[in-house]
Structures are given as C-alpha cells and as structure tokens.
C-alpha cells in the first residue's frame, strides 16, 4: 500500500555521488583553482590563439598544468567540446559519469572525468565568465547556482552533439557540418577517427528537462565578453565544433535546406546561419618561475588503482 506519510515532511533524496569525507576526490581543488583564476593573463605565456569559424571544428593540444580558454568574441555561440588524453586517446572525457559526479551542467570548481579504466580528472573549470545576462532567472538555494525561469542551466552535460545520422533519420536530408562531422574532420590529422568522437560538453549552451522529462534548449546567454577557463590536469587533445545551430535562437533540423532560402523571406527569418559565430581558443602556460608557487601540492592525477581483474583469475599458460 502507498505510504500515508505527508511527502512534504520527508527530506528529498540525497545526491547519489557526494563527498563522504574531508579527503574525498569529489572535493574540488578549490585553493589551486582560485590561484589559477586570479592569475592575470599578462603574467602567463600564451602558446595558442585562434578562432574556430562558424560551422567548423579544430583540434589542439594543451600541456598538463596549463590553462585554456574558450570565448565568444562576436557574441553568443554554442560549442561542442571533446577531450582526450593526448598520450593515450583511449582515455577520453566521460560525459555521463561527469554528470553524476558533478551535475547536469558544469560550473566553477567542477572537473571533467575520464572513462574506464582510467577514471580520473582530465581538466577542471577554473573560471566561468558566462552569466545568464538580462534574462529572467530563478535563484536556487543550493551550491549549483541559478536557473532560467524554465529551469535551464548553462554549459550542458545532458545532451550530446548534433549529428548527420539523426538528422537524416528525422528529415531524410544529408548535411555535412553537424557537430559530429566537424569533430570527425578536426581529429583526423591527429590519427583519430569517427569512432573516437564521443559525447560532449556543450559550452555556452542552456538546457534542461521539462515537467515530462524531455530535453529542451534555450538560446545562449553568451556575450562578446563571455568565456570559460579550464585547467588541464593531463596532457590533452581537445576538439571543438562551432555548432551549426549557432546561438540556438533559431534551432531546427533544416540546415540542409538553408541554401534554398535565397529570396524566401519566411525561410530567411528561420535561417540558423545568421545566428552562427566563431569561438576563440587560447592556451596559456604558467612560466617556470611561477609554477612552484601556483601549482604547489598539485600533481597529475594518477590512473585509477583498481586491479581486481573483475573477479577472474588469468592463467599464465598451459598447466597453470
């Protein structure tokens, strides 16, 4: 029989993954990240700076112990981010586990975790310079911050990349510049293939779940001054796609039809291409003379120590 207790008197379920001790790895390295966030960029050595043009993708390397920034110099634009360990690309960002360990959307102090059997931080969010702007928001009384009036949050881990396969399934058309395809082309020069492209962190993207549990997207709140800074805890290969949906204010599955919008006012009004902008990538190294004071007590997280062979004994050869 159903409980007769008043549900309002019952405490809500606790998070399934929550620090249970003072030295839990789920505690962010707050002191380190605060030191990194306070460093003026003029005191660092820039080793990369480029823009990813609309509806394209680029891959780049970030040395461990460095900072990389994604920014929107021309205004709102959603980006789909993939991350691998540059020394072993079998180790890659695990969106689902990061969602469980951190939250449905990342914020300052959150770390992006890698897949099995590695299970360790690849990088962390040092500074989030993308607010909700002037839109109506609802402040929540918890450490995960505020939401839009619809319950949306920024920097999404709920969804994944747009891809030509689901587009073809839904519309019957073919389009070659979805985020999945942009990421595939970006990593080919680095020896990776389509099978290495994985679920993403959608930076500058506001999403949520409606009352029926269905995924929704809102327009990006990014401005020309918005950015998000990451600290690389491993040697990284990153790849980013500038989403063909642009800032998502005109999102739909009609990219392949946009070329036919010339002279069609109604089609042009729904044209996503006008909402597409570049994303800038910058990478900074911490000079040697600053590393000891800034990175004190930090070392690259080691590979997970589980070696239980999943309960199996492995014979060494015949007769053993």
The tens digit of pLDDT for each residue in 200-211 reads: 999 999 999 999
Confidence of residue 7 (pLDDT cuts 50, 70, 90): low
Confidence of residue 117 (pLDDT cuts 50, 70, 90): very high
pLDDT computed for residue 257 by the predictor: 81
Quick one: which of 233, 194, 204, 187 has its CA closest to 80? 204
In the predicted model, is pLDDT for residue 107 greater than 60?
yes
- CA–CA separation, 203 and 81 (whole Å): 7
- CA–CA separation, 195 and 172 (whole Å): 23
Residue 315 included in any domain = no
In the predicted model, is pLDDT for residue 238 greater than 60?
yes
- CA–CA separation, 104 and 112 (whole Å): 12
Lowest mean pLDDT among 38-52, 81-95, 103-117, 130-144: 130-144
Lowest mean pLDDT among 25-29, 96-100, 223-227: 25-29
Confidence of residue 252 (pLDDT cuts 50, 70, 90): confident
Phi, psi of 261 (to 5 degrees): -80, -10
Residue 171 included in any domain = yes
pLDDT computed for residue 141 by the predictor: 46
- CA–CA separation, 236 and 238 (whole Å): 6
pLDDT computed for residue 3 by the predictor: 53
Residue 302 included in any domain = no
The answer to whether 246 touches 177, Cβ cutoff 8 Å, is no
Quick one: which of 152, 295, 173, 267 has its CA closest to 221? 152
Mean pLDDT across 106-116: 97
Instruction: Give residue for tokens 């099995």.
Output: 116
In the predicted model, is pLDDT for residue 234 greater than 50?
yes
Residue 35 included in any domain = yes
Alpha-carbon distances, residue 263 vs 228, 252, 266, 293 (angstroms): 38, 20, 9, 61
Residue 309 included in any domain = no
In the predicted model, is pLDDT for residue 184 greater than 80?
yes
Mean pLDDT across 123-137: 84
Confidence of residue 265 (pLDDT cuts 50, 70, 90): low
Residue 300 included in any domain = no
Beta-bridge partner residues of 59: 239
Mean pLDDT across 41-45: 96
Quick one: which of 266, 260, 228 has its CA closest to 77? 228
Lowest mean pLDDT among 14-28, 45-59, 124-138, 148-162: 124-138
- CA–CA separation, 257 and 241 (whole Å): 21
In the predicted model, is pLDDT for residue 267 greater than 70?
no
- Specify the number of domains making up the chain: 1
* Whole-number average pLDDT of the chain: 91
pLDDT computed for residue 70 by the predictor: 98
Q: Say which residues have a Cβ less than 8 Å from residue 77's Cβ, sequence separation at least 6.
A: 54, 204, 220, 222, 242, 243, 246, 247, 276, 277, 278, 279
Mean pLDDT across 171-192: 97
Per the model's pLDDT, the better-predicted residue between 309 and 217 turns out to be 217
Helix axes 179-187, 164-171, angle to 10 degrees: 150
Mean pLDDT across 216-244: 98
Taking CB atoms within 8 Å and a gap of at least 24, the contacts of 148-152 are 148/206, 148/208, 148/218, 150/208, 150/210, 150/216, 150/218, 151/208, 151/209, 151/210, 152/206, 152/207, 152/208, 152/216, 152/217, 152/218
- Classified as helix, coil or strand, 246 is coil
Residue 6 included in any domain = no
Residue 303 included in any domain = no
Give me the domain span that covers residue 102: 30-253
pLDDT computed for residue 64 by the predictor: 98
Quick one: which of 94, 95, 178, 79 has its CA closest to 130? 79
Percentage of the chain exceeding pLDDT 70: 90
pLDDT computed for residue 147 by the predictor: 87
């Amino acid at each position: 029989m159903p409980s007769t207790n008043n549900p309002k008197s019952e405490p809500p379920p606790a998070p399934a993954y929550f620090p249970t001790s003072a030295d839990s790895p789920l505690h962010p390295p707050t002191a380190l990240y605060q030191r990194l966030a306070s460093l003026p960029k003029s005191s660092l050595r820039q080793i990369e700076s480029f823009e990813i043009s609309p509806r394209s993708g680029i891959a780049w390397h970030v040395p461990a112990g460095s900072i990389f920034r994604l920014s929107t110099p021309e205004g709102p634009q959603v980006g789909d981010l993939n991350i691998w360990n540059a020394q072993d690309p079998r180790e890659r960002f695990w969106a689902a586990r990061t969602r469980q360990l951190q939250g449905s959307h990342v914020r300052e102090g959150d770390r992006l975790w890698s897949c099995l059997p590695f299970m360790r931080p690849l990088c962390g969010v040092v500074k989030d310079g993308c607010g909700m702007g002037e839109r109506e928001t609802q402040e929540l009384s918890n450490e995960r911050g505020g939401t839009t009036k619809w319950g949306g949050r920024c920097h999404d881990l709920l969804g994944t990349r747009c891809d030509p396969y689901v587009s073809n399934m839904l519309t019957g058309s073919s389009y070659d510049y979805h985020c999945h395809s942009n990421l595939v082309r970006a990593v080919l020069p680095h020896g990776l293939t389509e099978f290495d492209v994985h679920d993403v962190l959608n930076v500058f993207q506001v999403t949520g779940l409606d009352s029926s549990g269905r995924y929704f997207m809102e327009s990006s709140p990014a401005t020309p001054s918005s950015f998000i800074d990451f600290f690389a805890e491993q040697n990284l290969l990153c790849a980013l796609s500038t989403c063909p949906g642009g800032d998502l204010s005109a999102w739909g599955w009609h990219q392949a039809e946009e070329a036919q919008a010339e002279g069609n006012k109604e089609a042009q009004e729904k044209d996503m291409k006008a909402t597409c902008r570049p994303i800038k990538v910058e990478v900074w190294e911490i000079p040697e003379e600053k590393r000891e004071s800034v990175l004190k007590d930090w070392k690259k997280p080691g590979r997970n120590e589980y070696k239980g062979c999943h309960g199996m004994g492995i014979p060494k050869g015949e007769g053993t």
